[in-house]
Structure 1
Amino acid sequence: MRIPLPDSGSLAATVALPEGVPPADGWPGVVVVHEIYGVEPDMLDVLDLFAARGYAAVLPDLYSHGSRVGCLARAMRQLATGRPGQPAADIDATRRWLAGRDDVDGDRLGVIGFCMGGGFALAYAASAPPGVRAASVNYGMVPRDQEELRPVCPVVGSYGGRDRGFRPHGARLKEHMRALGIEHDVEIYPDAGHSFMTDGHHPVAKLALFPLSHGNVRPAADDAWRRTFAFFDTYVAHPE
């Protein structure tokens, strides 16, 4: 499917909905922001996990504006500078589309991201978008300046202790959340590395990114998903 963009054009996206009839006030919703590898099967699995939990889930393809290489280069540059630019606009267009559905409660939304998408999800949540009540940041980049995160909603995050590239970001996220007094649940799993929460098979990444100890670690993944869903159920699906 395609999501219309404010100025012109559209964004490719995939949607997964819970089974059955939506409740009178609509399902809670979640925007899934993919890893650096793009819309891979493991990211589509995330959609199904949320749909099975009763969330309307949508995954925008951040690389659907042109060539994959060009989109990736632009996205990484924007992430490194802390100015998400087009990715933030794409995530916001996706949120607006999701919130506008008749079967979704636009006041009960969350955003979750992985790797590159984790950094984008955090930056987007820090812009205080309407209806977004929780953000899940998984092995994503965290800004050094904690003031950039002052407006952020409650955050749940998971990082790998063997991930030498992103482990410091997990510690930084926990420190920022404590200092700012923001509700959070951030864990660093000692036996896990990068991308440990999904079943993606990226053999090139395992060779090229060996300092990250790339790959699925099932015990850590199971616990991370348990915490993530518990957090979203508390702050998104059933807010006080």
Structure 2
Amino acid sequence: MGMDIDGIGYLALPESGSGPGVIVLQEWWGLVPHIKSVADRFAAAGFVALAPDLFKGIQTTSPDEAGRLLMALNIDQTAQDLQVAARFLLGQEAVTLPKIGVVGFCMGGQLALLAATVSDNVGAVVDFYGIHPNVHPDFSKLTAPVLGIFAENDSFVPADAVKALAASIQEAGGAIATHTYPNTDHAFFNDTRPEVYNAEAATDAWSRTLDFLQKELAA
């Protein structure tokens, strides 16, 4: 269903051969099999999904190394990489709509917000518990609606941070809806991490994500 594209990332096509486009942005581990599997799930749901390789081939299972990779990320270069990813995806004949969705997890959640402020072609953003201390999107440039998915017991993105994010977007004239899942931890969507994975919350969050993207991209 999916294929690696040199210099870009991982592209997954739906069985029908065409559909709306969505960019899937990685956690701090890199473009690991879990993120590719999420792209495959989007393809199975009818999307053309692209997971760009923001760490340029580097992957890790070490939280310490992941933290170093996150902090070493060149934000200006990453903003350009996100623009390249959007143009690449929209350049695929399989993509049927003029606007794409961007979905990100952890580090990728914050980068999804950034992507929507540096590209005019983003029509919907889903931010799963996004965090990156050096990424500060200019929300005055945000035109896409945002769905924020958060965990109740998240030390990285506590409730106050969620409220502050929503307020920042709304004060800039943007639209955001948030949903916080009770009794969940940061990264509860990642089914390769049994210590935090919550199947019930992940299933519901996936359904919300698909509904949101399908509605907003077709608008």
The runs of at least 4 aligned residues of structure 1 exceeding 3 Å deviation read 65-75, 142-147
Check conservation: 2:11, 2:39, Cα contact below 8 A.
yes
| Identical positions, percent | 30
Deviations 1:115-159 (A, max 9, x none): 1111111112122x1321011111112789998212211101111
Q: TM-score, normalised by structure 2?
A: 0.84
Residue deviations 1:5-38, cap 9 Å, x none? Answer: xxxxx33x1111111243xxxx210111100011
Q: Quote the residue 2:34 is aligned against.
A: 42
8 Å contact kept, 2:5–2:11? no
Out of 198, 201, 215, the position equivalent to 1:217 is 198
After superposition, give the CA deviation of every residue in 1:168-220 in whole Å (9 maximum; x if it has no partner).
33222222233334222211222111101120228xxx6xxxxxxxx111222
Correspondent of 1:2 among 2, 5, 17: 5
> What is the distance in 2 between the residues matched to 1:71 and 1:65?
13
1:66-122 CA-partner distances (Å, limit 9, x unpaired): 7979997464245xxxx7222222222111111111121361201111111111111
The 5 A counterparts of 1:201-240 are: 201=193, 215-236=196-217, 238-239=218-219
CA contact (8 A) 1:16 1:47 kept: yes
Alignment of structure 1 residues 67-106 onto 2, 5 Å: 73=68, 75-78=70-73, 84-105=75-96
Q: 1:143 to 1:150 in 2, by over 3 A?
A: farther
Structure with larger Rg: 1
Aligned residue-pair number: 211
2:50 maps to amino acid:
V
Contact kept in structure 1, 2:70 and 2:132, CA below 8 Å: no
Whether the 8 Å contact between 1:125 and 1:132 is mirrored in structure 2 is yes
Q: 1:217 to 1:47 in 2, by over 3 A?
A: same
Residues 91, 106 of structure 1: alpha-carbon distance in 2 compared, 3 angstrom cutoff: farther
Q: Unaligned stretches of 5+ in structure 1?
A: 4-9, 207-214
1:16 is matched with which residue: 12, 16, 20?
A: 12
Please list every run of 5 or more consecutive structure 2 residues that lacks an aligned counterpart in the other structure: none
State how far apart, in whole Å, the 1-side matches of 2:189 and 2:147 are. Answer: 14
Counterpart amino acid of residue 150 in structure 1: S
Name the SS of the counterpart of 1:43 in structure 2: helix
Distance in 2, Cα, partners of 1:144 & 1:227: 28
Inter-CA distance 234–165: structure 2 relative to 1 (3 Å threshold): same
Q: What CA RMSD, in Å, does the superposition of the two structures yield over aligned residues?
A: 2.8
CA distance, structure 2, for counterparts of residue 143 and residue 64 of structure 1: 21
Query: TM-score by structure 1 length?
Result: 0.77
In structure 2, what is the equivalent of residue 137 of structure 1? 127
The answer as to 2:108 corresponding to 1:124 is no
Change in 2 beyond 3 A, CA 1:66/1:158: closer
